[in-house]
Structure 1
Amino acid sequence: MAPTRRPSDGLLARVNFPLYAVEMLTSRHVLVAGGGGSAKTGVANGFEIYEIYHNGTHFCAEEVVRHETGANVVMNFAVRNDGRRSYLCAGQESHCQLYFVNPRIVYEGQEESATEADERRPRSNSTAEHGNENGVRRRVAQASGVQDLPNGHATGASKKTGDQNANLKRIRFDIKAADSVQTDFLTTEPLQRVVRISPNGRLMATGGTDGHLRVWTFPQMVQRSDIASHNKEIDDIDFSPDSKYIVTISKDGQGLVWDLATMKQHHQLKWTTPEGGKYLYKRCRYGTIEAQRDKYRLFTITNPLGKVGKQRGFLQQWDCISGQLRSAVQVDESLASLAVRDDGRFVAVGTMFSGSVSIYIAFSLQRVLHIPNAHSMFVTGLQFLPITNEEGPPISSDTEAAVLSISVDNKVCIHSLPQRRTIPAWVAILLIIVVLFGAFALCSYIGI
């Protein structure tokens, strides 16, 4: 049975707007986005960047910067880090807005620049201090809606503990808007549903309500290809790790894999559905095969159509050469989100109705962690903490894997898989020797 959540896991941060997208900006910084839309509801739209760290007992988050996007809610985005700065491509209605995210080093105690001070200044009520039930004083910043949490998760102000941190370096980010291009051209209410940047950083792909797959050069955002790939809106797309293929899934029920060199269909995802029922692909993600960086798998989550209250979704693994379904595991309800860790070892799914999160071993689809009711509403996004060293050292912790989850309940949560006990190599060798010796002795005794 999969272990349940440890008491130290759970709520990492809370903002004052619904969350729709999450991605790692660096190996230690996570970017979340969302908002209340263009209606005058008083709910903000924009981004939040947090630094994630482990204090020896649990994961914590410190707010780094908040950037509001006016009347434009951010429903999807993609990030590309080139080592000097990051490119952020955000879906805003029918357009894709490019932002430059420039890191800079500041020191604890250093005065904020006028720009940073203005960015963090409360926009409505003034900042106030309140005491919580544990007697710990916390700062409630109306500008960001981020709270100091009594379990040790803290914003920046509560981490400053005296002169010993006076020369401590910290990374801050400046977010600046750049070019914007229209990516969806539906006659009524066009909307970009998804954007991805290829692993080699040369291409960007977008999909939306008009059913077209559009491929752009990156970061120039010049359109390279436009394919009427589906007759209904595209729900998700993803590039293969070698940047040679791209998969698209749509509400028309199709999952298609395209060759980026020719922009022709490579194969279609087909499987025999239970009792011949109608199923729709919801999310798709490629993942490398552990210790084989030149090989990879494709994962999808699939939900039944038209069975309200009786939904049983599937997590599926596909062969990327033949396009055949390799394995699948059924889940007790419809699925909403999917993530694969950067080394391809683990897969995570989030559910639609109960707001639960589960982690699976990628090659076997064996569930190793289940977090029921992680959120009060459906899980809109998942992101594993990375373990590779491409964008800086990973976060050190006592866990085998950790995944971030977001929802329209305004919460950023984290769920970690404790290190599973394994037999040391020397013990395994000793056991093998004992078994072989015992077998030899038994054979000698019975005269074989």
Structure 2
Amino acid sequence: MSAVTLVKTNFPLYTVNVLDTNHFIVAGGGGSAKTGVPNALQVFKLDYGSKAITAKKVHEHDSERKAIMNSAVHPKEKCLAVGKDEECHLLTVDIKLKTSVDKTKQDKSDDAEYEVSLLRSETSVKSLDKDNEGDFQKVVRFSNNGEHIVTGGSNGYVCIFKYPELSCVHEFKAHETDVDDLDIHPNGKRFVTVSRDTKAFVWKLEEGKREFELFYSGPNEDENEDSFRIRACRFLTNEKGETFLYTIQVPAKFDRQKPLPSFIVRWDCSKWIPQLSRDAGREPLTQMAVSDQGRYVAVGTASGSIAVYIAWNLTPLVSIQRVHNIFVTGLSFLPPSPALENAGKEFGLLTISADNSCKLVTLDNRKEFGIVWIIIGSVFLLYLTFLALSYFGFDV
């Protein structure tokens, strides 16, 4: 496993998304304060070279006075939903060359220019207290069919919008404080929200009504539901078509003298109960991602470390310490592709941080032995055992 720096920016990064097998975006900035740190969204093209995978910036979108802090990609259209303070903006991300570029050089020219245009913007997260200007959108998600956008805010509110008209179908206070994360079930009927108030709920999307509360008490008898809170959540559908909810549980209160571990938990989506958990160490987890084919779960930590687990049994696969200088702010797996396979990589994981860097974590393809070779090896081992026993005079 290795980690290489793909991108260094002049602003802190807070969100990363894969657009297709060859393009991804990063965004962030210094916010509205006049610090001289820009607010921007950048589009990069991946180059799967013979020796290394690199990235080249092909477009930069100036987000002016407001930093883009969260984003989501439409599953079917060339559209991004991004959070800028209390607003949710829609951006078209049409990866194409400008008409001024010679079409005969589209795939060869290093000077090719790409185009990303602003579609429109609407306010999606609102505070009931009109005088409170500190509220902001913390998370945004598209449903799998692309028909809904769900946002969560620092004021605990959730908004459900119909896409593309962006009409608000439901707006309600889901939590007492920040909605730290949310994710929508692949069937589009339910979504899950998690909060700093230690609560986690399952909601009916169409009705905007709460259906279940998620409880996790930890592995020890002396711990209770209030010992941990869910920091992030992701639905994952495996190769068998089974859907599970994965969450990262962190201590509700951090105690430097006696720190509790963080956990990765898999939930049964039919009963909404914990099905499997894995101790992920004493370092607080900050981010989570799942791979497209449902094989891997990745987590990032407060110290900038990265770990990847096998999804079906949560067995640790690989871990790299201090990939970033400070906490991880975003993770996103590259989709499986012939280019990634030809590069000899089992997976590619984009990871960003407020240290202004985007890095690529990869794992070389592991050698897998077929059943025939396993049988041959077993027979050969038995043969050597009989030889050894005969040599030492045992009657075999």
Task: Give the TM bin, normalised by the shorter chain.
Answer: 0.7 to 0.9
Q: Is the 8 A contact 2:31 2:67 kept in 1?
A: yes
Match of 1:292 among 231, 237, 240: 240
Tell me the C-alpha RMSD between the 2 structures: 2.7
Per the alignment, residue 392 of structure 2 pairs with none
Per the alignment, residue 152 of structure 2 pairs with 207
The answer to whether residue 284 in structure 2 is matched with residue 334 in structure 1 is yes
Measured against aligned partners, the alpha-carbon deviations of 1:9-44 in whole angstroms (never above 9, x if no partner) come to 321110000000011112211111100010110000
The answer to whether residue 28 in structure 2 is matched with residue 34 in structure 1 is yes
- Residues 211-230 of structure 1 correspond to what in structure 2 (within 5 A)? 211-230=156-175
> How far did residue 396 of structure 1 move?
3.9
Measured against aligned partners, the alpha-carbon deviations of 1:243-290 in whole angstroms (never above 9, x if no partner) come to 12100001111111112243333322112234325211111111112x
Measured against aligned partners, the alpha-carbon deviations of 1:366-418 in whole angstroms (never above 9, x if no partner) come to 111111000000000000011179xxx86742011110100000000011112
CA distance in 2, matches of 1:401, 1:86: 24
Per the alignment, residue 369 of structure 1 pairs with 318
CA distance in 1, matches of 2:232, 2:355: 21
Structure ranking higher on relative contact order (CA contacts 8 Å, 6+ apart): 1
Measured against aligned partners, the alpha-carbon deviations of 1:119-175 in whole angstroms (never above 9, x if no partner) come to xxxxxxxxxxxxxxxxxxxxxxxxxxxxxxxxxxxxxxxxxxxx9986789682322
> How far did residue 183 of structure 1 move?
1.5
Match of 1:323 among 272, 283, 296: 272
- Residues 19-418 of structure 1 correspond to what in structure 2 (within 5 A)? 19-80=13-74, 82=76, 86-105=78-97, 110=101, 172-187=114-129, 188=132, 189-273=134-218, 274=220, 275-276=222-223, 278-289=227-238, 291-293=239-241, 295-309=242-256, 310-332=259-281, 333-352=283-302, 354-387=303-336, 396-418=342-364
Measured against aligned partners, the alpha-carbon deviations of 1:327-372 in whole angstroms (never above 9, x if no partner) come to 11112210000000011100100001x2100110001111111110
Task: Name the CA shift for 1:410/1:296 in 2 (closer, same or farther; >3 Å).
Answer: same
Amino acid at match of 2:264: L
CA distance in 2, matches of 1:423, 1:177: 51
Per the alignment, residue 10 of structure 1 pairs with 4
Q: Is the 8 A contact 1:103 1:171 kept in 2?
A: no
Q: Is the 8 A contact 2:124 2:151 kept in 1?
A: no
> How far did residue 315 of structure 1 move?
1.1
Per the alignment, residue 373 of structure 2 pairs with 427
Measured against aligned partners, the alpha-carbon deviations of 1:56-75 in whole angstroms (never above 9, x if no partner) come to 23221111111111110111
Task: Name the CA shift for 1:335/1:105 in 2 (closer, same or farther; >3 Å).
Answer: same
Secondary structure at the aligned position of 2:313 is classed as coil
Task: Name the CA shift for 1:63/1:350 in 2 (closer, same or farther; >3 Å).
Answer: same
Q: Is the 8 A contact 1:184 1:207 kept in 2?
A: no
Secondary structure at the aligned position of 1:426 is classed as helix
CA distance in 2, matches of 1:34, 1:48: 9
Fraction of identical pairs, as percent: 30
Secondary structure at the aligned position of 2:373 is classed as helix
Unaligned runs of 5+ in 2: 385-396
Task: Name the CA shift for 1:66/1:328 in 2 (closer, same or farther; >3 Å).
Answer: same
Secondary structure at the aligned position of 1:342 is classed as coil
CA distance in 2, matches of 1:212, 1:167: 47
| Count of aligned pairs between the two proteins | 373
CA distance in 2, matches of 1:412, 1:272: 35
> How far did residue 106 of structure 1 move?
5.7
Q: Is the 8 A contact 2:138 2:181 kept in 1?
A: yes
Task: Name the CA shift for 1:168/1:377 in 2 (closer, same or farther; >3 Å).
Answer: closer
Task: Name the CA shift for 1:285/1:374 in 2 (closer, same or farther; >3 Å).
Answer: same
> How far did residue 436 of structure 1 move?
11
Secondary structure at the aligned position of 1:105 is classed as coil
Amino acid at match of 2:232: R
Q: Is the 8 A contact 2:179 2:195 kept in 1?
A: yes
